[in-house]
């Protein structure tokens, strides 16, 4: 296992408050572009003066680029230029509904079209390196669709706990019945049953990470920037997410570039059984399971996160 310069939980609070925040304010550039339907898409990037390469991050649902400050800092410290944007309907990007808290997208192809525009208008104009793609959770579904539709765009792709299936709290047939009922009696932009506005859950109740300090930093960032907050999903989002995941599973036998999928062994958010099934069908793909880790592999305790980020950087350097 290679050694990389990575932040540690031991002194993260002080490093974050000083070095990482200063890096983010002084070195990282923040801008906007108009996505599909003129929805504002927020993005950030940092250019390494002696870059080994370029990494583009595709983030997960409810996430924002402000949640990735530590990771962007780590990737830069290890020699990479880094690019990240906020998907439409979340983070610092434009929201499409009267209630900006509701997770909504017309179709996952809108995420893909925004992403393609980001790469064309920003990434390839700022770096001579063919970019590598790093995806987390919902960003994994979006990233997989990007690679399948634009196979020449990225050199390699690493997936952290990709959303190739959503962990169902109910039997599949009942979940489909609820979706049908919801669509029948509600507007497509209404919250799905049981969903609500942003909830700052206490650490003890969270299903995302074992790391108290990283969870605290994530929630503090969202407290300080309420614009980034997002609640639960609409019934329509669930419907189009299911369609996107089906499209991925049906197409990955021809996955065109080298891929690494890192599975969080104790994931309570995505469906690891379906994820494993999809990965088994994927051409050019290796699976690495990190036993015991919760969903947020990139925001986990050091013993999980270091293993994950090291595997990703090793894969990108091979």
pLDDT for 20-75, tens place per residue? 999 999 999 999 999 999 999 999 999 999 999 999 999 999 999 999 999 999 99
101 lies in a domain? yes
Task: Please state the rounded mean pLDDT for residues 220-240.
Answer: 95
Query: Does the pLDDT at position 165 exceed 80?
Result: yes
Q: Answer yes or no: is 277 within a domain.
A: yes
Read off the tokens for 212.
């108290």
CB distance 41 to 86 below 8 Å? yes
Domain membership of residue 210 (yes or no) is yes
What pLDDT is stored for residue 172 in this prediction? 62
Reduced to 3 states (helix: H, G, I; strand: E, B; else coil), residue 47 is: coil
pTM: predicted TM-score of the whole model, two decimal places: 0.95
Number of domains, the chain: 1
Looking at per-residue pLDDT, the higher value among 163 and 187 belongs to 163
Give Cα 38 to chain centroid, integer Å: 22
Is 144 part of a structural domain of the chain? yes
Range of the domain at 143: 9-317
Give domain status of residue 4, yes or no: no
CA separation for the pair 208, 9 (Å, rounded): 16
Average pLDDT over residues 235-254: 94
Does position 179 have pLDDT exceeding 80, yes or no? no
Residue 170 has pLDDT above 80, yes or no: no
Distance in angstroms (rounded) separating the CA atoms of residues 43 and 45: 7
Residue at 1 is within a domain: no
Dihedral sign, CA of 105, 300, 57, 308?
negative
Q: pLDDT category, 167, cuts 50, 70, 90? A: confident
Q: What CATH number has the domain bearing residue 150? A: 3.40.50.1820
The pLDDT assigned to 294 comes to 98
CA distance 102 to 91: 12
Q: Report the mean per-residue pLDDT for the chain.
A: 94
Phi/psi region, residue 38 (left: phi>0; alpha: psi -120 to 50; beta: rest), is left
Percent of the chain topping pLDDT 70? 93
Secondary element (H or E) of residue 45: strand 40-46
3 falls within a domain: no
Residue 27 placed within a domain: yes
Statement: residue 97 has pLDDT above 70: yes
Phi, psi torsion values for 248, nearest 5 degrees: -65, -50
| Bridge partners, 136 (sequence order) | 160
């Amino acid at each position: 296992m290679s050694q990389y310069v990575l932040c540690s939980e031991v002194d993260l609070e002080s490093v974050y408050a000083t070095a990482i925040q200063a890096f983010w304010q002084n070195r990282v550039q923040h801008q906007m572009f108009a996505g599909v339907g003129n929805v504002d898409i927020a993005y950030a990037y940092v250019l390494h003066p002696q870059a080994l390469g370029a990494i583009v991050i595709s983030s997960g649902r409810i996430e924002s680029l402000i949640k990735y400050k530590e990771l962007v800092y780590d990737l830069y410290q290890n020699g990479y230029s880094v690019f990240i944007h906020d998907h439409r309907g979340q983070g610092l990007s434009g929201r499409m509904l009267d209630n900006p808290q509701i997770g909504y997208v017309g179709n996952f192809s809108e995420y893909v079209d925004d992403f393609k525009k980001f790469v064309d208008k920003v990434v390839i104009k700022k770096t001579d390196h063919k970019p590598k793609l790093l995806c987390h959770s919902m960003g994994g579904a979006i990233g997989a669709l990007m690679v399948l539709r634009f196979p020449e765009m990225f050199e390699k792709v690493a997936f952290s706990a990709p959303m190739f299936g959503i962990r169902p709290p109910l039997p599949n047939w009942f979940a489909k019945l609820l979706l049908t009922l919801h669509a029948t009696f509600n507007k497509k932009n209404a919250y799905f049953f049981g969903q609500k506005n942003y909830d700052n859950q206490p650490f003890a109740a969270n299903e995302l990470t074992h790391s108290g300090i990283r969870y605290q930093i994530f929630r503090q960032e969202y407290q300080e920037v309420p614009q980034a907050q997002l609640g639960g999903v609409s019934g329509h989002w669930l419907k189009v997410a299911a369609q996107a995941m089906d499209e991925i599973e049906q197409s990955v036998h021809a996955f065109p570039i080298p891929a690494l999928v890192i599975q969080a062994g104790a994931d309570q958010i995505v469906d690891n059984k379906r994820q494993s099934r999809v990965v088994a069908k994927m051409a050019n793909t290796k699976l690495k399971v990190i036993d015991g880790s919760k969903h947020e592999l990139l925001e986990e305790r050091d013993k999980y996160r270091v293993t994950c980020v090291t595997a990703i950087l090793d894969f990108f350097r091979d």
